[in-house]
Amino acid sequence: MLEVSNLACVRGDHRLFAGLSFSLSAGELMQVQGANGSGKTSLLRTLCGFIMPEAGEVCWRGNDIRELEEEYCAELVYLGHLNAIKDDLNALENLRINAGLAGCAIDDKRAVAALRRMGLLGKELLPVKVLSQGQRRRVALARLLVSDAPLWILDEPLAALDAGAVDLMQELIGEHLSNSGMLIFTTHQPLQVAGVEIRSLALS
């Protein structure tokens, strides 16, 4: 499904990685590992198409993502370091707008259900600026629940989450993979998904 061949990335004068090749098929989970500054985020952003690779190509279902453009975007959920939520809006508005930007209209019922599952019961109508860092992350992660895109690209999804939320994420990832989803992520915390082997990709 997702094939990366001979990928190279240069930021400024610094070569982060070169000759990187891997492929990911339905139901697979891949963790990108590496020290700080080894290019994990740059790799994920290249896979999203934000960064033009120095060499090599990223293919989705056999076609270069540069040619697919919007078709590829429809099958992808990306969550970066930044939560992409607005402080002035409440959790429900944030989720509905983010789902809208991702191309799907959801009703209030579905959005509220997603927020409750993320453990935000009673916080749906509070402005996000009064929530804690971990709760904001949960609002951002709720987007995963309302999307049916097969490819998830998550940059440090567990940052700021407590143990309960980490368990919940593992459960969500398990469900996503069993629906023949795919996931590429980075994390510095241990993550286990029942019945799935985590492939790892080391950047040096």
Partner 1 sequence: MNKLSLSSLLVLVIRRDLVLALRRRADVLITLIFFVMVVSLFPLGVGPEPEMLRKMASGVVWVAALLASMLSLGRMFSVDYQDGTLEQMLLVPQSLSVLVLGKILAHWMVSGLPLVLMAPVLGLQFGLPMQSLGVLMLGLLLGTPVLSMIGAVGAALTLGLRGGGVLVSLLVLPLCIPVLIFGSGAVEAAASGMNYASHLSLLAALLVLALVLTPWVTAQALRISME
Q: How far is the CB of 124 from partner 1 (least distance, A)?
A: 16
Comparison of 103 and 164: residue with beta carbon closer to partner 1 = 103
Residues within window 126-155 making contact with partner 1, judged by CB under 8 A: 148
Counting contacts by CB under 8 A, is residue 13 touching partner 1? no
Which residue in the set 101, 121, 125, 202 belongs to the binding site for partner 1 (CB under 8 A)?
A: 101
Which residue in the set 18, 26, 35, 104 belongs to the binding site for partner 1 (CB under 8 A)?
A: 104
Counting contacts by CB under 8 A, is residue 71 touching partner 1? yes
Distance, CA of 65 to CA of 45 (rounded, Å)? 13
Which residue in the set 13, 88, 109, 122 belongs to the binding site for partner 1 (CB under 8 A)?
A: 88
Do residues 42 and 51 touch, judged by C-beta distance below 8 A?
yes
Do residues 97 and 111 touch, judged by C-beta distance below 8 A?
no
**If DSSP codes are grouped into helix, strand and coil, which group holds residue 57?**
strand
Do residues 193 and 170 touch, judged by C-beta distance below 8 A?
yes
Type of residue found at 175: E
- C-alpha count within 13 angstroms, C-beta hemisphere, residue 127: 6
Counting contacts by CB under 8 A, is residue 83 touching partner 1? yes
User: What Å distances lie between residue 68 and 24, 58, 63, 75, CA to CA?
Assistant: 18, 11, 7, 11
Comparison of 118 and 149: residue with beta carbon closer to partner 1 = 149
Q: How far is the CB of 84 from partner 1 (least distance, A)?
A: 4
Choose one: 16-24, 55-63, 75-83, 167-175; the region binding partner 1 (CB under 8 A). Answer: 75-83
Could you tell me the two tokens for 97?
Answer: 């707008």
Q: How far is the CB of 167 from partner 1 (least distance, A)?
A: 25
CA–chain centroid gap for 93, Å, is 20
Counting contacts by CB under 8 A, is residue 78 touching partner 1? yes
Distance, CA of 52 to CA of 48 (rounded, Å)? 10
Q: How far is the CB of 178 from partner 1 (least distance, A)?
A: 19
Site for partner 1, rule CB under 8 A: 48, 50-52, 70-71, 73-74, 76, 78, 80-89, 93, 97-98, 100-106, 148
